[in-house]
Structure 1
Amino acid sequence: MNIYVETERLILRQFTIDDAEELHAICNQLYILKWMPDWKISLEERKAWIRWIEKQYSKTTPKTVRIMLAVTLKPNTKLIGMVGVGNKSEVNNEIEIAYFVSEKYNHNGYIGEAVKAMAEWVFSNLKLDYLIAIVELDNIPSQRVVEKCGFTKLETKMVLNSGETEEKPFYYYRMFNTGAVI
């Protein structure tokens, strides 16, 4: 499976090992680590993650999903973030959308554009009934992203999130595939 998605301003594409250093620099920004502490790993671990995710693209099925895409600017292909979908074991193994953008490129609508494009690609290609997003209660920017993209807040759930030791409350959102029979 080769995944390549163009939007008005972005290209979403599969990660390659050549992205390791740029991705590592973005993932080590305090802005990112505040919400995604489990992304704090060494450069060698980041390279291993990229090699692992490269293998996952071809293994994706509607029940087992692990797709992480590089978010790049269209004019110069500069890597600015990540958008992905995958089974979230902490939330009944539902398919979650996750994303981040470098602080330097924040507040430009890039990540919302990427999230919308990713959701459309997933619904068209994997025929899922819905996607979920879980967002910490104080992560207002992320709440805005999912709400602007059409996700609906359904409830607050206690979740033991990846890389953390205690459950805490998250807003639980869903976006339904309007083309699917539910």
Structure 2
Amino acid sequence: MNSKSDKFPILETKRLLLRNIINEDAKNILHYMSDEDVMQYYGLAPFKSLDDAFEEISWYQTLLNKKTGIRWGITLKEKGIIIGSCGFHNIVSQHFRTEIGFELSKEMWGKGIAFEAVEAITNYGFTHMSFQRVEALIEPPNLSSQRLVEKLGFMREGLLRNYEFTCGEFCDLYMYSLLKQDFDKTD
């Protein structure tokens, strides 16, 4: 990562504060990640315990420590509790490329919150992390995530057949991408 600082970047939007996720957030993470609807396209079974949430938080920290990704907790400014997360993983520094991921508590669906958060981190990735390409891998039935990334300007490049083995089955994924020059045109 070519971030200008080693300090965790806190991002602010009109309604949201995107911040580092800490162990004290485990209860809130368990709340939404134990929901089958939220986890349907996440690639993991719904969480059953706080230990599952702590493992997820540990994975976020590992991404950061190894400089292979960064995950922000999504919070509403007035509440401060984690209602979802978004971030980059599988950063390939030598190719200026990364993948994006996000999930949101079901109670927050349909309010434009995921769009606002993903737009903020995408902007940060292009302007502060020197990405040239941001990818989104999305299961074909996940129409809401496809609409979200398309609204941000991502283009569907193709179908990756049997690309992942998750929850006991092979899954196809659409490959979407957004290039820096395309993102710059929308500013």
Q: Under TM normalisation by the shorter chain, which class is it?
A: 0.7 to 0.9
Q: 1:162 to 1:53 in 2, by over 3 A?
A: farther
Aligned-partner Cα distance in 1 for 2:159–2:53: 32
Q: How does 1:58-77 map to 2 (within 5 A)?
A: 58-60=65-67, 65-77=68-80
Alignment-derived partner of residue 54 in structure 2: 47
User: Do the aligned partners of 2:69 and 2:91 also contact (CA within 8 Å) in 1?
Assistant: no
Residues 57-136 of structure 1: matches in 2 within 5 Å?
57-60=64-67, 65-87=68-90, 95-136=98-139
Normalised by the size of structure 2, how large is the TM-score? 0.82
Determine what percentage of the aligned residue pairs are the same residue.
26
Which amino acid is 1:36 matched to? Y
Contact 1:153 1:172 in 2 (8 A): yes
Alpha-carbon displacement from aligned partner over 1:4-42 (angstroms, at most 9, x marks no partner): 000111111110111011011111111112111415343
- Deviation of 1:54 after TM superposition, in Å, equals 2.8
**Aligned with 2:41: secondary structure?**
coil
Where in structure 1 are there 5+ consecutive unaligned residues? none
The SS at the match of 1:12 is strand
Query: Which runs of 5 or more structure 2 residues have no equivalent in the other structure?
Result: 1-5
Normalising by structure 1, report the TM-score. 0.84
Change (3 A) 1:36 1:179: closer
Runs of 4+, deviation exceeding 4 Å: none
